Structure 1
């Protein structure tokens, strides 16, 4: 169990945080000075990115990245739900089959899975574009990861929710569909956003196909202008960082909204409890007054 730090512990944490921040700032200054010495801030190395054609070229790569991430996320989330329900099934064969799928595709590195799809599927007659191979491989891998997130969200709910639904006459499938899943999906939404962020970042592995996504476009730029290799990597990192920052902000917004909803619900329950207590006190006083009159 975690215990909140006392005054001495908080003082130590502030000291460690200050020392760590100073160390990070010093490291960044040292890196900047090293880059300045090697001429990485020279105008000729950044000039290519001031052309509209280069900006449009990289923006088209960003669009391709978002398209691959969206398709992969839809396919992965669509597969994750039945996989999680299969893993939780009371039928042993179904639970073992879903568990084998999840463990198998979680264990395979995504890069090797993408390469396998590109090499083996065309030999079997699947003449897909590069986007199809990338989405298929990412859907298989991330569906296994997301299925565990969904399963954990379902198991985190109190058992009384399902038991109450069954007591009302619902079948187990109806209780899962109408009672358990809506609450579980609401509670696991921040984790699903984190899964989406991982999918966006993993689209960069599409450069090995090659799929014309953002990282592959930056390699094309650095091939055309070798002196701007580090600059291209920096700009692409910033573009990925913007997408990641948007998703992280969305995740924090969802978490804050859920906390406010929980606080409002607790306040309503407390208000209802106070009203009931006041009503009980009023009734007891009325009874006492009646007894005195009698």
Structure 2
């Protein structure tokens, strides 16, 4: 199928993209990043923008760098850019673990980090890892720049705190160089998206969990943080008993009646999957914590 006609602009700077968003405020306007969600939607008629603003060549939206205790990832970095960064693997282990499970090689060579997070598909792989990692999302609009904690970014299915003329420019990840990060996922058999995915970021000191970030996607209509699981882990040894107890609390703060439902899984089944994949993410953390480092 072919999309409807639209006007196309290629922005050279963030400011130019924001100006274009304001100038076309009365039209249905979309930003083009990697295009893996937008273009199929346009071809099938699910999305019919009047204006398309391409931000792929905006230099300021690229790059991966460490500044003090923060890893900064430009929103237009492709998944493969992040996976090719040693800094990203060192400082954002839960996020890179989730990126590794996104789509296939072709998707990872084209899709972008910022596009994934801003699109807010409840079945995408990164929202849970962003929540577990305490990511900060930096956005820019007509009134300047502001920073949104991941906990305050997601409102619902495809709904975020981004304003109509704002652009996600970069994400800031507090360094987790001393932590263990994992991601466990039950992929949809038809799409590869997450029926349920759970990210874990744990700091372990002398065999005891000193800090824990647990985030999930696919279960609810937006990414959620599993605070009862975190509370069950902190101060405990990371063993099978602790993991089983913590995983059993995966749905404690969630209204299971509002779990996602589709042809592949009922809400009740997703609730069960959430506990199972929380346990698997934590078991993977045990394996990574006990694995010898490259320096050993």
Structure 2 length-normalised TM? 0.22
Higher normalized strand content (fraction of residues): 2
Higher relative contact order, structure no. (Cα contacts within 8 Å, ≥ 6 residues apart): 1
Q: Which has the larger radius of gyration?
A: 1
